[in-house]
């Protein structure tokens, strides 16, 4: 089974979101743009460490950096989250359908045993 481009995107996205600091950065950016310096103020880590987290988020497509005068503000790219949400919803539907079929099968077995 080969790896598709979509699989690679999801792998990068979920890898990026697997870290609590990166999830926190995504949550912060959901309220608006911020510079690396502004983001780093929240953490007991260097700006370089925060910048590395942002680079992971950029590679996953969750964050992009713009240019405004002397600064490069980070911004959330919500479309990447929609890709993850879509995958999660599809998986939820699949498992829900499987559980419904299992429930139907178990009910049928109980009916047969009760006869």
pLDDT digits (tens, 9 = 90+) for 49-96: 999 999 999 999 999 998 777 778 999 999 998 888 888 898 889 998
If one counts every other C-beta atom within 10 angstroms of the C-beta of residue 3, the result is 8
How large is the average pLDDT for residues 4-22?
Answer: 92
pLDDT in tens, 28-57: 999 999 999 999 999 989 989 999 999 999
Tell me, what's the pLDDT at 112? 84
Q: Is the pLDDT of residue 105 over 70?
A: yes
For the cut 80, the answer to whether the pLDDT of residue 11 exceeds it is yes
- What is the per-residue pLDDT for 56? 97
Q: Topology of domain 5-114, per CATH? A: Arc Repressor Mutant, subunit A (1.10.10)
**Is residue 10's pLDDT more than 70?**
yes
Residue 1 pLDDT = 63
SS3 state at 45: coil
Domain ranges of the chain: 5-114
């Amino acid at each position: 089974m080969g790896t598709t481009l979509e699989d690679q995107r999801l792998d990068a996205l979920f890898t990026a979101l697997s870290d609590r600091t990166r999830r926190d950065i995504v949550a912060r950016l959901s309220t608006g743009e911020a510079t690396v310096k502004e983001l780093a103020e929240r953490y007991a880590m260097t700006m370089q460490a925060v910048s590395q987290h942002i680079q992971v988020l950029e590679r996953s497509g969750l964050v992009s950096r713009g240019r405004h005068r002397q600064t490069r503000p980070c911004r959330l790219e919500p479309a990447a989250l929609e890709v993850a949400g879509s995958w999660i919803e599809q998986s939820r539907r699949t498992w829900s359908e499987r559980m419904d079929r299992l429930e139907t099968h178990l009910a049928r077995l109980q009916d047969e045993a009760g006869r």
